[in-house]
Amino acid sequence: MSKAFAIPTWLACAIVLAFGYTTGLQLGKVSPYAARLEAEFGYGLAQVGVLTSLLTLFVAVSAAFVGRRVSRIGVTRSLKVSAVVMAIGAVLFGFVPEGGWLLAARTVEALGYVVAVIAAPAYLANAQSGRLRPVFLALWGSVVPIGFAASDTLASQLPASLSLANSFLVFAAPIAVLAMLVLLLRKDVAVPAAAKGDAAPAPSGDAGVAWILAVAFGCYVCLSIAFFAFLPTFAATRSGVSVSSGVVALFVPIGSFAAAFLLSILPRPAVLALAAAGFLGAAFSAPFMFAGASGNALAMITFAFFIGIAASAIIASVSVLTSSRDSSTRTLGAIAQFGGSAVLLGAPLAGFVIERFGWDVLAGGLAAIASLGFLIFLSRLARRRPLATAL
């Protein structure tokens, strides 16, 4: 592509972010049709569960490995491949429900997804977008909750008479369009020079720091999945719950947008304090969420809002706290690995705690996990130097 037709960096980042939202749409598209898959094609709940979680399973198993490969192949090249593969998988998913090949189509999507969740934020972390860089990364933290909300909304707007195949093809249309736009991106992104006022990077020998960020993100995912997976159950078993789980879930992306706004006006290193504040707010609100006969709606909303801030601040910190494109890409791979593992383990563990010990103990456990996330970032603030990675 000639320079005359080069896409501006901010627009390229907006395309990558929009592509991320369409990956979230694909992640959540199975759940709204679980009953129809069972009734029309005989898919059992276990099969529907596999279709739903297959994308995150691939992330949990291989994200760190994929992150290393992405840094070698190139961020933009990997992003383009992931976009094409996901689009192909999404289209195939719309053609094969009656033929029993949904698992194969979902596997194609999963192959693209595990690369996309590393390459896309790595692109945002390394693009020369100035002060918008942490903003774009903060918004990336809202990709999954907004994707799930969008999938539920889109499914509810489609006619009930529309076949499953055509319904899934409707879901495939946005990612097909965004994949074509991703293919227009420049060959690769340049590593930006340190912005004026940023702290100097720490020595690259601090190999454990990437895993510290990954553990912090794992804490966020555990908080999110343990809370939202069973919030409908809590509402169904308690009378007088005054707020729906869907409304509470909306406050996670609201928290992400709030983090993005704050990062647009605060100094870039302030991302550490923002992440710590997110976890601290979650820790203080968690013990009150299930109190009383009907729970505390304000505490639930507050908890959701602050974990949204924490998630976005963790992702945004990658652009501020890593010293090279290679280290940021590998760090994002580690973050994705821990996040995917937490998705798979968080819900079963939370269910066990509820059955064995009750809702109050779950609330205490969530407060403890949030406190761990707070301490992780508090310790980094106390050291008064940014993080570095050397995976």
245: CATH? 1.20.1250.20
Q: Tell me if 126 is assigned to some domain.
A: yes
Maximum mean pLDDT: which of 167-176, 223-232, 338-347: 167-176
Of 144, 166, 182, the position where a domain reaches its end is: 182
Residue 150: pLDDT above 80? yes
pLDDT, one tens digit per residue, over 234-285 is 877 777 677 777 788 889 999 999 998 998 888 877 888 999 999 999 999 9
Indicate whether 108 and 223 sit together in one domain.
no
Kindly report the number of other CB atoms within 10 A of residue 258's CB atom.
19
In degrees, to the nearest 5, what angle opens at C-alpha 300 toward C-alphas 373 and 151?
90
Structure tokens, 353:
């705690």
Residue 383: pLDDT above 70? no
Q: What is the rounded CA–CA span in Å between residue 99 and residue 92?
A: 11
Indicate whether 158 and 237 sit together in one domain.
no
Indicate whether 230 and 112 sit together in one domain.
no
DSSP reduced 3-state for 6:
coil
Name the residue with higher pLDDT: 198 or 217.
217
Indicate whether 108 and 176 sit together in one domain.
yes
Residue 22: pLDDT above 90? yes
Task: Give this prediction's pTM.
Answer: 0.82
pLDDT tier at 41, thresholds 50, 70, 90: confident
pLDDT, one tens digit per residue, over 172-193 is 999 999 999 999 987 655 444 4
Indicate whether 376 and 309 sit together in one domain.
yes
Indicate whether 365 and 230 sit together in one domain.
yes
Q: Tell me if 49 is assigned to some domain.
A: yes
Indicate whether 246 and 345 sit together in one domain.
yes
Q: What is the rounded CA–CA span in Å between residue 262 and residue 94?
A: 40
Q: Which domain holds residue 305?
A: 209-383
Q: Tell me if 366 is assigned to some domain.
A: yes
pLDDT tier at 213, thresholds 50, 70, 90: confident
DSSP reduced 3-state for 246:
helix
pLDDT tier at 232, thresholds 50, 70, 90: confident
How many domains, the chain?
A: 2
Residue 280 near residue 286, CB atoms below 8 Å: no
Indicate whether 174 and 25 sit together in one domain.
yes
Environment class of 384 (CB within 10 Å of its CB; exposed 0-12, middle 13-18, buried 19+): exposed
> Mean pLDDT throughout 139-157?
85
Residue 78 near residue 115, CB atoms below 8 Å: yes
Kindly report the number of other CB atoms within 10 A of residue 162's CB atom.
12
Residue 344 near residue 56, CB atoms below 8 Å: yes
Q: Which of 123, 115, 103 is nearest to 43 (CA)?
A: 103
